[in-house]
Amino acid sequence: MSDVAALAGVSHQTVSRVVNGHPNVAPQTRERVERAIAELGYRPNIAARALVTGSTRTLGLVTVKIDQYGPAQTMIGLENAARAAGYSVSVSILDDATAAAMRDAIDTFVAQRVDGIVALSTYDDAAEALRALDPPVPLVAVQVGGGEDRPAVGVDQETGARLATRHLLGLGHRTVHHVAGPADSQEARGRIDGWRSELRAAGAPVPEELLRGDWTASSGYLAGKALAARIHGGEDITAVLTANDQMALGLLAALHQCGLRIPEDVSVVGFDDLPEAPYFTPPLTTVRQDFAELGRRGVQLVLARMNGQDLHPEPVPTALLVRSSTGPARVRT
Amino acid sequence: MSDVAALAGVSHQTVSRVVNGHPNVAPQTRERVERAIAELGYRPNIAARALVTGSTRTLGLVTVKIDQYGPAQTMIGLENAARAAGYSVSVSILDDATAAAMRDAIDTFVAQRVDGIVALSTYDDAAEALRALDPPVPLVAVQVGGGEDRPAVGVDQETGARLATRHLLGLGHRTVHHVAGPADSQEARGRIDGWRSELRAAGAPVPEELLRGDWTASSGYLAGKALAARIHGGEDITAVLTANDQMALGLLAALHQCGLRIPEDVSVVGFDDLPEAPYFTPPLTTVRQDFAELGRRGVQLVLARMNGQDLHPEPVPTALLVRSSTGPARVRT
DNA sequence: ACGCTGGGTGTTAGCGCTAACATGCGATCG
DNA sequence: CGATCGCATGTTAGCGCTAACACCCAGCGT
């Protein structure tokens, strides 16, 4: 900086003023400084600035299991929104959502003096770890529920699941079966709640046995096999809601293999709307989540907290996309 | 830090020594300081340390189109490897791979004084932008080729494509058609090269017309439609290599719709091995890439450059996974 | 007895920047 | 016409830390 000042024939403070866009600098001085900056290829040192201002203009993002489509998209949304707001993003991708790993990551962010932290995960251990922590900077949760006091944004899982269930009941299905996500996932529970309450509201029987998956296509396949066996055993199962598209894909594969036709024999609805969903066999009816929007609201929320505002954002809405994996119930023989 | 020093009854320098694990500190002093640190919840200020040491122990990661499975996985591998080596990761996810966006991102990293930069993208503009840049810190490219001097790691695309092509020819197919990726992708070109050279080596005819996609299932679907039309028009097309699994999915959907059976009428091979690939209809034969390993080697490479070493890592190997989307050529009627 | 070594600790300076105050000067006003 | 204002700029201090050096005091050899 002093080199620039010397070359432009001004003090370092004036250079600082130019760099930070202060108003009270004479236009010609400003120009002279800017030329010197360009000539010398000068870049201000963020660390030094952070030291004196106490702000790094960096957000910490801690996440688990980013290998799923949803979290990855949400991360993109977060990063873009943060960058647009002039913040850098430092990420920590945890292998598993243990409290210890979570604490470690947050600790590192605190040492880095990030201005705010966004935690992105749908698992209970992560949520619990978060609850126990009290970092000196705002910490908001994205898609992690259960925080009574901790600020959070999420997707309106319940309405999404209700939409899907209603669609299937509307097609004349007696009831809807559900292949749920992991028990320790808040997100999965939201979908179960929505599905169950819609069935109840419609007076449809609520299937006792709940099928569990772990979000992977492989677990969906297993669920599909189990379901097919029950259908061949004479059970009246004609409509299935799976908790995400990957599991729906596995389920579809299993039902196909067992000679069941979609949607003639069984209607299937997914959740997420992967870009690939229209190309499943058959094209998948599913519930779309706007992950990018979720990320954006997450950033909006930390930023608000950083300014001391107490924002309570609405959950991100979902939408049902009807494609070819759902059809009218066949008449019982 | 001075609070800790006061509480422990030592100088701030001794606290610094304890924090940084210097050898010459008396055990009981060390313990006293550690207790004070714990009591006060003290975290060293990384910015201040960076200012004096000149090192932030942070790596910059710039990437484009992370919404694809491959880049996302690679990013995880990178982040984990970096964290294991004691580095934080600052990310910048670009909307598109323009030279300007790339320059901006790198500039920000330079201002942040990251110790090294990893660029992750397979597009030519990105590669070109990289070539034009000369940041004051080591910059390595992951999966971006074409760098004569710029250090890079990549996946051995060519061998992967050859493996797939050989597999199809071995099943008795007269030749193999290829649905390639975007023309400006280094990765896509590597696969084309491998496919073409294997055909040549086997003395098989090289189809003139190359089908182009953009990695999406939707573009694969379009290619599938085109292919189906040509098959119905009497062309002898029995084996297709698609440049990734998503496009293979779209292709599969299109061929199905046009009444072609897989693999009886057409054999299809993908590339990537998505976790969902075994659940396609039919389960997809594909070429696996080890993205996590790619990320790991990327970090290894920057770290080496930061130490002034001149590492030239091997490309990451690929493996063919044979599932049910490929079968023997049917006899021409 | 003397210097010498080396481990344990303290003191000082400075990394690059911005906040706060100081200064100088032309324009404005009673 | 001097007091006053506001703009453009300079000066100083200090953010929290580590490197470099200074210092003190045992233990040792001669």
Q: What is the pTM of this model?
A: 0.92
Interface test with B, best of A276, A296, A323 (most B CBs within 10 A): A276
C-alpha torsion angle, residues B312, B313, B315, B321 (rounded to 10): 170
- Is B74 an 8 Å CB contact of chain A? no
**Residues lining strand D, beta carbon within 7 angstroms:** A 9-14, 17, 23-26, 29-30, 48, 51-52; B 1-2, 12-13, 16, 19-20, 44-45, 48-49, 51-53
pLDDT at B126: 79
Whether the per-residue pLDDT at B149 is higher than 80: the answer is: no
Q: Locate the chain B residue with the closest alpha carbon to A256.
A: B281
When pLDDT is cut at 50, 70 and 90, the band that residue B332 belongs to is low
For residue A180, give the nearest of A144, A206, A148 by alpha carbon.
A206
Q: Please tell me whether the peptide bond between A313 and the residue prior to it is cis, using omega within 30 degrees of 0.
A: no
- Is A110 an 8 Å CB contact of chain B? yes
Q: Over range B55-84, report the average pLDDT.
A: 90
Q: What is the residue whose two structure tokens read 């000196």? A: A136
pLDDT at B123: 82
Token digits for A141? 């949760």
When pLDDT is cut at 50, 70 and 90, the band that residue B125 belongs to is confident
pLDDT at B333: 54
Whether the per-residue pLDDT at B275 is higher than 90: the answer is: yes
Q: Which nucleotide is at minimal CA–C1' distance from B26?
A: C8
CB A145 within 8 Å of CB A127: yes
Interface test with B, best of A19, A20, A46, A325 (most B CBs within 10 A): A46
Proximity of residue A57 CB to strand C below 7 A: no
When pLDDT is cut at 50, 70 and 90, the band that residue B144 belongs to is low
pLDDT at B127: 80
Q: Could you report the per-residue pLDDT of B91-113, keeping only the tens digit for each?
A: 999 988 788 888 889 999 999 99
Give the single-character DSSP code of B332.
P
pLDDT at A208: 82
pLDDT at B260: 97
Q: Over range B5-25, report the average pLDDT.
A: 90
Amino acid at residue number A163: L
Q: Give the CA distances from residue B291 to residues A73, A96, B22, B298, in Å, rounded to whole numbers and listed in that order.
A: 18, 19, 38, 11
Q: Which of A48, A76, A283 sits opposite B93 (nearest CB)?
A: A76
pLDDT at A146: 53
pLDDT at A284: 98
Q: Give the CA distances from residue B24 to residues A154, B16, B32, in Å, rounded to whole numbers and listed in that order.
A: 51, 12, 15
Q: Could you report the per-residue pLDDT of B165-196, keeping only the tens digit for each?
A: 999 999 999 999 999 999 988 899 999 999 99
pLDDT at A259: 96
Cβ of B278 within 8 Å of Cβ of A89? The answer is no
Give every residue of chain A whose pLDDT is below 50, as ranges. none
C-alpha torsion angle, residues B61, B65, B68, B70 (rounded to 10): -40
